[in-house]
Amino acid sequence: MLQQKQALLDVRVQRDVRVPMRDGVTLSADLYLPETEQPVPAIVVRSPYGKAGEFVHHTAPYFAARGYGFVSMDVRGRGDSDGKFIPYINEGADGHDSIEWAAAQPWCDGAVGTMGGSYLARIQWLTALTQPPHLKAMISTVTPSDPFVETPTGVPGPQHLCWLYMTSGRVMQDVDVIDWEAVYWHLPLMTMDEKTGKSLPRWREEVEHSRLDDWWRRIAYQERFHELDLPVLHISGWYDDEQVGTPLNYVGMTTRAKTEFGRKHQKLVMGPWPHQVNRSTRLGELDFGPQSLIDLNGLQLRWFDRWLKGEANGVAEEPPVSIFVMGENRWRQEREWPLRRTRWIPYYLHSGGRANSRFGDGRLSTEVPGEEPSDRYSYDPAHPVPFITDPTSNQIGGPDDYSAVERRDDVLVYTTPPLEEALEVTGPIRMRLFASSSARDTDFMVKFLDVWPNRFAQRLTDGMVRGRFRNGMDRPELLEPGQVYEYEIDCWNISHLFQKGHRIRVEVASSAFPKYDRNLNTGAELGQGTEMVVAEQTVFHDREHPSAIILPVIPRG
């Protein structure tokens, strides 16, 4: 439904307004206020990246001119705000106090919403759990998950160090002065910060807490949706490197929110975007077309107009799920996620025992395996399989071409014949892998790809498991060398149309560096050692061990 065009209001700005927290610390905020005599709703954005950055420059005047007071705040210890920055720890209480401060201002009518992406999104959830009375709605974009959901390794991914370095002072640190590729090779992981030339105690704390414990649970929120009943607009992209959190949060709120009101009023938008959503039609070598960009500010305005101003603008009655189907390159509206009409089809691994590299005999099909030889490879942590990415933490991976990486013998490759008709895969991807190792601990990585007729091997999504955490991130247990284990691997989500003539491919390896740290295969305490052991890996795909990737296939038409 189109909104009626409204006259824009003039906007005045008040800078470095001091906002008191409950412990006496004051935080700095810039206020963007419409020139009107009537009180208006407030939008609160809290950021470690600077309260006057690019996001605010494009967003705050837009909302203020349309009748909102926009509060852009430096989080504790960053920018002009007092206190010490400790990622996430103070954000729940500080967010609560900031919302209630805004609601009490004479220019505010008492209704407050929050918005923002990445760190700004996760702290909205931590704030919402403190139950601020005046918080009425949220817009949560590219939201990080709970600890170890995105990186189920027990230790932070190497590129997380780049983020910690970037936010290690009161202002943004220049990450381009660091040779990050050299940094990521440093062992032990515990002292990797030394290679930056700067001591980063937070890095060492995170490495030290190498399982899901109470230290991590302080900043967890995804097991607590039952405490919330807010309308939330969830936004991400299929190539967002923190993508998994957004569909998880949508499903969590639609199924477990405290009230029927909360469960009913959620909206999910997934585009063909990286972590910086809705910026370009192009990503890597692909162009998703002009329709891939949307009027994002307009969508967010309608959300707040409905839930902060009470306007009956139709946003609550529209289909709640908007997905961009890559390959077909068009948007589609749905009523739920995952889709009810999904056919969950296993695609089984097959080979004659030589699936090593794309030149091997690995095959992928819906045929259930019989008696087949297993596939073997050696994983050497000194020579890990590369994950194609820029070295900084701004964006980890994309629709990159893995055909060159697939020349390696420590990458098992399984591929379908060319498809005789188009096939849509939309939903969460899971891998069921039967494997053994000579090591006490090791990793198994799975990558899901679309192979074009010109042999371009487009990464769609991927996932991994660390052997010791096969039973959960809070229950590490080393492997018995040579024993076959069944691993369930979360490969996140996708919406993609494999065109006729394309092929579906699955890779299996034991490293994806530097997206994940290298498992040294010794079974020693994580993050502490430098000793490496070569692991002999075996992947099984026979009648008793039917390794398969489970695809959410959507019937066409």
**pLDDT (tens digit per residue) in 168-227:** 999 999 999 999 999 999 999 999 999 999 999 999 999 999 999 999 999 999 999 999
Q: Note whether 362 and 330 are same-domain residues.
A: no
Rounding to the nearest 10 degrees, give the CA dihedral for residues 523, 525, 527, 531. Answer: -50
Assess whether 501 and 383 both reside in one domain.
yes
Question: With contact defined as beta carbons under 8 Å apart, do 33 and 69 qualify?
Answer: yes
Please tell me the number of Cα atoms within 13 Å of 533 on its side-chain side.
16
Residues 44, 62: contact at Cβ < 8 Å? no
Q: What are 235's two structure tokens? A: 């936004």
- Under 8 Å CB-to-CB from 128, ≥6 apart: which residues? 135, 138, 228, 230
Could you give the 3-state DSSP secondary structure of residue 234? Answer: strand
Is the predicted pLDDT of residue 238 greater than 60, yes or no?
Answer: yes
Does 502 lie in the same domain as 394? yes
- In a shared domain, residues 164 and 254: no
What's the burial of 110, exposed, middle or buried (CB within 10 Å: 0-12/13-18/19+)? middle
173, part of any domain: yes
Average pLDDT over residues 370-396: 96
The verdict on residue 176 lying in a domain is yes
CATH number at residue 95: 3.40.50.1820
| Structure tokens belonging to residue 88 | 């996430």
- End residue of a domain, out of 312, 334, 356: 334
Domain assignment of residue 426, yes or no: yes
Burial of 422 (0-12, 13-18, 19+ CB in 10 A): middle
pLDDT of residue 556: 87
Question: Which tokens belong to 529?
Answer: 């050692």
What total number of domains does the chain contain? 3
- Residue 480 in any domain: the answer is yes
**Given 94, 146, 240, 462, the catalytic residue:** 240
Are residue 57 and residue 27 in the same domain, yes or no?
A: yes
Query: What is the C-alpha separation between 188 and 208, in angstroms, rounded?
Result: 12
Q: Among the options 72, 118, 210, 322, which is catalytic?
A: 118
410 noted as active-site residue: no
Q: Is the pLDDT of residue 2 over 70?
A: no
231 and 124 assigned to the same domain = yes
Last residue within a domain, chosen from 170, 188, 211: 211
Any residues with CB less than 8 A from the CB of 355 and at least 6 apart, and which?
A: 349, 361, 362, 375, 412, 413, 414, 539
What whole-number distance in Å separates Cα of residue 348 and Cα of residue 427? 18
Q: Give percent of the chain above pLDDT 90.
A: 97
Distance between CA atoms of 160 and 50, rounded to whole angstroms? 19
Residues 60 and 173 in one domain: no
pLDDT digits (tens, 9 = 90+) for 245-283: 999 999 999 999 999 999 999 999 999 999 999 999 999
Helix (H) or strand (E) holding 347: strand 343-350
Is 4 part of any domain?
no
Q: What are the pLDDT digits (tens) for 306-363? A: 999 999 999 999 999 999 999 999 999 999 999 999 999 999 999 999 999 999 999 9
Helix count and strand count (H, E) for the chain: 10, 23
For the chain, give the mean pLDDT.
97
CA distances from 407 to 306, 404, 507 (A): 53, 6, 11
Residue 275 designated active-site: yes
- Per residue in 85-139, pLDDT (tens digit) is 999 999 999 999 999 999 999 999 999 999 999 999 999 999 999 999 999 999 9
Determine which one of 234, 265, 275, 545 is catalytic.
Answer: 275
Domain shared by 488 and 387, yes or no: yes
Task: Note down the domain range covering 405.
Answer: 343-523+530-554
Whether residue 162 is found in the same domain as residue 285: no
Decide if pLDDT at 491 tops 80. yes
139 and 160 share one domain:
no
Q: Is 7 helix (H, G, I), strand (E, B) or coil?
A: coil
Please indicate, yes or no, whether residues 247 and 387 belong to a single structural domain of this protein: no
Residues near 536 by Cβ (< 8 Å), separated by ≥ 6?
376, 378, 437, 438
**Residue at 221 is within a domain:** no
In this structure, is residue 1 part of a structural domain?
A: no
Alpha-carbon distance of 246 to 244, in angstroms, equals 6
Q: Within 10 A of 24 (CB to CB), how many other CB atoms are there?
A: 8
- Which of 334, 364, 392 is the last residue before a domain boundary? 334
Return the ∠ at Cα 437 (arms to 434 and 443), rounded to 5°: 80
Q: Do both 262 and 189 map to the same domain?
A: no
The answer to whether residue 455 is domain-embedded is yes
Determine whether 350 is an active site residue: no
CB contact at 8 A, 120 and 45: yes
Residue 1: pLDDT band by 50, 70, 90 thresholds?
A: very low
